[in-house]
Amino acid sequence: MARRTTALAATGSLAAAALLLTACGGGGSDSKITSSPAAPTTSAPATSAPATTPAAADGPTFDFPSDVKVVVDPDTTGDATKDAILKDQAYGEQAIFLAIAKLDPKLPQLQTYVGGDALQSWIDKVKWGQSHHRSVTGTTQFYQRTVHVTGSDTANVTFCESERAAYDKDTTTGRTIKTTPSPDDFTQHLAMMQKGSDGVWKMTTYQSQKGAKACQR
């Protein structure tokens, strides 16, 4: 059924000190917006107006296409620093999906909330989607987010992702490419966060483990 629209592969323990964003480069049979799809099913392209989704009253606007939805649980802690990190990490996930949905590697929100190796990897991934006419559709959920502050301007966030209702989409035909449901629909991530001079916490690298039991619903 659904597959990871970010195409992240498990590359070792989530507790590893070195974080790695994998399988996000362009080209090659494994370089897909989502994991290996089964035979596509036909669906008509969305014709309704895009859903404009402000992440918060004072936050950025994410004008997703009408067939794309990203749900991030607030997971607030009551700690001002941790909640600021969670807020910007949520913006980063939304920015990634908006860039993939629009196939826009220069999306301002992506540049604002994603940095370092992660930003270049996502730019390469979006460019791959452009050249292969592959985007995303459906609903992706992020939940069980926990912050670990490691310094005055560094932290990491562990979190879960469900792509049980998210799919690849062929942008030339509007077809939804569905796959068989499996434990791989659920992924656990560890994101490294870096606070910039502008006060924004950016996701700079992260590591993922597909099929993580802690994330399965």
Map out the domains of the chain as residue ranges.
68-215
Of the candidates 4, 1, 6, 2, the one whose C-alpha atom is nearest the C-alpha of residue 122 is: 6
Q: Compute CA distances 174 → 1, 41, 149, whole Å.
A: 17, 10, 42
| pTM metric for this prediction | 0.77
Domain 68-215 falls under CATH 3.40.250.10: no
Q: What is the pLDDT along the chain (217 residues), one digit of tens a residue?
A: 444 443 333 323 222 222 233 333 233 333 326 332 222 233 333 333 344 444 455 789 999 999 999 999 999 999 999 999 999 999 999 999 999 999 999 999 999 999 999 999 999 999 999 999 999 999 999 999 999 999 999 999 999 999 999 999 999 999 999 989 999 999 999 999 999 999 999 999 989 999 999 999 9
Contact 180, 4 (CB under 8 A): no
Of the candidates 161, 145, 192, the one whose C-alpha atom is nearest the C-alpha of residue 15 is: 192
Of the candidates 142, 123, 113, 138, the one whose C-alpha atom is nearest the C-alpha of residue 208 is: 142
Task: Supply φ then ψ for residue 87, to 5 degrees.
Answer: -60, -50
